[in-house]
Structure 1
């Protein structure tokens, strides 16, 4: 499926602000679902309806045989740790072709140090995996911290169910630190004792559960596309999003700060809604370090392109091993629109764009990456676009296109 986005604007009614309620955080949902599997007393509300979370739910109920996580990277990492250390059955864990080219060797090596029995079925260091599960005791291991925080979170989560808990020594620079802190916060709410000092993290299993009822906050990553829409709209445009909290476990809750530089103000309202308002049109170049929030890079770069301003972002070394090489994908698709993007293995620089391509309807390739589809969608405020493989948004935000239609945008499905 592809969608044809006809140039249109955010529809507002007199004395009314358009409102969107966003599903629960994918990151929180997957962590809580794994904890719920380890501690069945837990109840979890407002779970994300994304494909990644559905894959997690389906995988957790399998007791033997094959589990296919499709494109769900977090699910692959979390289930690898769970099946390896927390149950005694034999599991074959596999995914899509792209998943089989996303590295997992660092996590497998760490799990093997704890006694895990894992075999690579195809290429060394990559899924699919054959796992002969054990009930491990836990212990101390060292793990590189610069590649993916999901490896670390996977170990911390299963550490809550290991007799000796888990002690990690992180080697090198720590990437996506807020996601590690999210994991530790949820574990602490559960009742486990944790420490995080410098490069050392410890988790001790809970002696008694302190909390058994959890409600997942709305997904800040999904909110980013609406920040982009407001940033590309006229000064004075407002939009409400729910439900979000001023103090959040999600790293992407940095959005209000980031988009202040792009002319969008955020106000937290009493009913857990936020109000976004376009207050200025920025002219200065955007600069940022996204080491802690790499999933926001595509949205911010496209926003800057739409605003016609330069953009310089570093801390993007993890984007090459996501659903696609996101740096190359951004470069290729922005070029179609008249943008000039320079990339390295860890950074990007967008030149200020004064003239955008307008003579043809440009088709944006998504590379099986949900964030490519949604990051480019706000450009419908300025031009007609076709988004290829538009169904890919179901990975994190299944109702995205319908929610845009509710806001008055022209979104037409085509074969």
Structure 2
């Protein structure tokens, strides 16, 4: 396995945050469903975005790549008979494309890597059963084959599962011949991610009637309209450097829209809540260390920032909680277990419960340990920030997994003064 040694150091300077992965997924999909050519700029070719680009190409979209810009000509009808979509480890790609792919291919097979096959697809299977759509799958690995086309209907879905199921339907249903409804049977979690989908659909000319996030009414026979769109900076990635600032580093985060619909913008409010000083301009955010107080955090609306917030809370005096985060157990790894295991190695005091973390703040991290990313990009980046506030060096295993969402992370880390020594790989 790959290994790096991270030396204690203060990060200082400016960092330009990469574009939002969530918005890039949505823009690429909408552009690929549009008539004419769309230009999508400020693209970062992370593993997940490459998976979505490959998916729309497999369904017949034409994409020309020039530097960080995509020129996308939309899919024209049923362009393929048998499509294979390799989602790699991208849950967004998988769940967004399951309904869509049935509209553009007679048969489609989804494959993937890592833990993706363990992520549930039950809401889609229930739709297939109701509509007599043929499908088959393998247990504990992603190998799903679908024969048939999703039809207009009233779709009853729980709101406390991944919002990706709802977004997948929202992309597909406007293209059907008749009107459809999505009716949520429980209150919606991750509202921010649905807002991103609705915002992007509106930009591309699609109308959805949102009845208080309980029912969505979608007219059929709509047409996506090609546009030019620049992807804004990613609060999921900004969170790592903002949290670093709250812990005593000195970083100005650039290319960020404080008025964004992104759910992970909540990191700014959370850092203020614990007592960090936060300076905001129209395009930058900077967090500074102050007296950090303990809080109780609800992670249901912003699960991606839970790992880095757990690090911050581990160094906030008093008793902290992060609640409603059971879904983190079926990400690239079991993130609750990974957070507990790896931060505890550095000196954190964490109690792991089925759907929450209880964290008792400590004064400092002073243990020298080998820690693992669990091949999870958000765990790797969290541990990199942890290393800046450790008294001793940290060896991180499987550091390259940051390519899933932030390929330039280690370059940016070093540009801010982060000290890295690349070690010889260990072969098991």
Q: Which TM-score applies when normalising by structure 2?
A: 0.87
Q: Kindly state the Cα deviation for residue 174 of structure 1 after the two structures are TM-superposed.
A: 1.8
Matched positions, count: 397
Say yes or no: does 1:144 pair with 2:158.
Answer: yes
2:22 aligned partner: 27
1:45 aligned partner: 41
- Partner of 2:378, secondary structure, is helix
Of stretches 214-223 and 153-162 in structure 1, the one that deviates more from structure 2 is 153-162
Say yes or no: does 1:91 pair with 2:108.
Answer: yes
Q: Kindly state the Cα deviation for residue 310 of structure 1 after the two structures are TM-superposed.
A: 3.2
Q: Kindly state the Cα deviation for residue 107 of structure 1 after the two structures are TM-superposed.
A: 2.4
- Partner of 1:257, secondary structure, is helix
- Partner of 2:286, secondary structure, is strand
Paired residues for 1:257-276 under 5 Å? 257-270=269-282, 273-276=283-286
For each residue in 1:213-245, what CA deviation from the matched residue of structure 2 results, as whole angstroms up to 9, or x when unmatched? 2221111000010011101116xx4x2222122
1:332 aligned partner: 341
Determine which of 178, 181, 184 is the counterpart of 1:164.
178
Q: Kindly state the Cα deviation for residue 40 of structure 1 after the two structures are TM-superposed.
A: 4.3
Query: CA, structure 1 residues 317+137, in 2 after alignment: closer, same or farther (shift >3 Å)?
Result: same
Of stretches 389-398 and 331-340 in structure 1, the one that deviates more from structure 2 is 331-340
Say yes or no: does 1:76 pair with 2:91.
Answer: no
Asked if the contact 1:324–1:367 (Cα under 8 Å) also holds between the matched residues in 2, the reply is: yes
Determine which of 356, 363, 373 is the counterpart of 2:370.
363
Asked if the contact 1:137–1:165 (Cα under 8 Å) also holds between the matched residues in 2, the reply is: no
**Aligned partners of 1:407, 1:44: CA distance in 2, in Å?**
29
Query: CA, structure 1 residues 240+111, in 2 after alignment: closer, same or farther (shift >3 Å)?
Result: farther
1:15 aligned partner: none
2:11 aligned partner: 10
Q: Kindly state the Cα deviation for residue 19 of structure 1 after the two structures are TM-superposed.
A: 1.4
**Aligned partners of 2:83, 2:226: CA distance in 1, in Å?**
33
Q: Kindly state the Cα deviation for residue 56 of structure 1 after the two structures are TM-superposed.
A: 0.8
Q: Kindly state the Cα deviation for residue 200 of structure 1 after the two structures are TM-superposed.
A: 0.8
Q: Kindly state the Cα deviation for residue 299 of structure 1 after the two structures are TM-superposed.
A: 0.5
Asked if the contact 1:316–1:346 (Cα under 8 Å) also holds between the matched residues in 2, the reply is: yes
- Partner of 2:315, secondary structure, is helix
Q: Kindly state the Cα deviation for residue 407 of structure 1 after the two structures are TM-superposed.
A: 0.5
Say yes or no: does 1:244 pair with 2:256.
Answer: yes
2:310 aligned partner: 301
**Aligned partners of 1:257, 1:302: CA distance in 2, in Å?**
16
Of stretches 148-157 and 373-382 in structure 1, the one that deviates more from structure 2 is 373-382
1:55 aligned partner: 51
1:281 aligned partner: 291
- Partner of 1:266, secondary structure, is strand
- Partner of 2:422, secondary structure, is strand
For each residue in 1:118-150, what CA deviation from the matched residue of structure 2 results, as whole angstroms up to 9, or x when unmatched? 222x229x731012253x442211112212111
Say yes or no: does 1:204 pair with 2:200.
Answer: no
Asked if the contact 2:85–2:110 (Cα under 8 Å) also holds between the matched residues in 1, the reply is: yes
**Aligned partners of 2:131, 2:33: CA distance in 1, in Å?**
18
**Aligned partners of 2:3, 2:128: CA distance in 1, in Å?**
41
Say yes or no: does 1:391 pair with 2:400.
Answer: yes
Q: Kindly state the Cα deviation for residue 170 of structure 1 after the two structures are TM-superposed.
A: 0.9
Q: Kindly state the Cα deviation for residue 112 of structure 1 after the two structures are TM-superposed.
A: 4.7
Determine which of 113, 132, 135 is the counterpart of 1:118.
135
Q: Kindly state the Cα deviation for residue 7 of structure 1 after the two structures are TM-superposed.
A: 0.7
Contiguous gaps of at least 5 residues in structure 1: 12-17
**Aligned partners of 2:108, 2:224: CA distance in 1, in Å?**
29
Report the structure, 1 or 2, having the larger strand content.
2
